[in-house]
Amino acid sequence: MFKSKKNLSGMLLVAVIFFTGISTSNAQKRKDVGLQLFSLRELLPKDVAGTLQKVSQAGYSQVELYGFSIKDQFWGLKPAELKKILDENGLKPVSGHFNMSPYFKSGDEAELKAAIEAAKILGLKYVTIPWLDADTRTSAEDYRTVAKRLNYAGQLCKNAGLKLAYHNHDFEFIKYGNETGMDILLKDTDKKLVDFEMDIYWVIRSGLQPYELFKANPGRYAMWHIKDMDKSDPKLNTEVGSGSIDYKDIFKHAKLSGMKYFFVEHENNYKPDMLGSITKSCAFIKDQILK
């Protein structure tokens, strides 16, 4: 029992502050919008610091990296040097797309291990596989081999305090008998070791609906790529909110998906003002989806 009104008032004040703090923190998290930096691939290699400053000014607080190689690292910058620039601009690197072609072709682990080391230095949460070369995905058996290598890579990532993810395009939805390549990857990978990054545009471009994939594999799609589909030409991207994809509805299923992070990406049709384009997408997401 409370001994006085003064004590009761004090405890109520503490409770209000405590719960308000939680609410504010959660609201801030919901306002985080990520950008896949490949969207600015014509600008970034020429001026990393200046471009990242503009990404922050456009409203983004998280990024997904691309462009790493053992020889050149990130456009001539070592991971620690890039991390410093990201920190200076208030940008949190969450994931990175790392080329793993030799690994998936022959099992050569050099690029895999280099990617894991770079990811650790940068403080990433995910090492993400962005692409499979055509000659590594010609059959159901190929996809089973890919799944085995994803599991192995996922274990190496786990050992390093990271998580592995796989990013789709459209070719994963080609059928081999009664199942698609994506069906095989989802079925044959260990949920504890491998997450998936759904590129929502490519799912819809393939004639599928994100919700159906979420429902079939709840919790597997920890990250999303979001880019809109041009209303007059589905082969082209457009700013989020300007095209034919109903992102307001898709975001309603984020919990079912298991989505923790999402990244705006413009693969094409982002000229002449690519910075204006990513700014418009970010503003729509914050104003219309995350409000």
CA distance 275 to 217: 35
- Classified as helix, coil or strand, 127 is strand
CB 129 within 8 Å of CB 167:
yes
Across the chain, mean pLDDT equals 91
One-letter amino acid at 50 equals G
135: left (phi over 0), alpha (psi -120 to 50) or beta: alpha
pLDDT digits (tens, 9 = 90+) for 31-50: 799 999 999 999 999 999 99
pLDDT digits (tens, 9 = 90+) for 92-125: 999 999 999 999 999 999 999 999 999 999 999 9
Burial class (CB in 10 A: 0-12, 13-18, 19+), 29: exposed
Is the pLDDT reported for residue 67 higher than 70? yes
The structure tokens 């219309």 sit at: 288
DSSP tally for the chain: helices H, then strands E: 12, 14
Q: What is the pLDDT of residue 29?
A: 53
Tokens linked to 150: 């994803």
pLDDT digits (tens, 9 = 90+) for 178-218: 999 999 999 999 999 999 999 999 999 999 999 999 999 99
Q: CA torsion 259→265→267→272, rounded to 10°?
A: 160
CB 266 within 8 Å of CB 277:
yes
For residue 6, what are the contacts with CB-CB under 8 A and spacing of at least 6? none
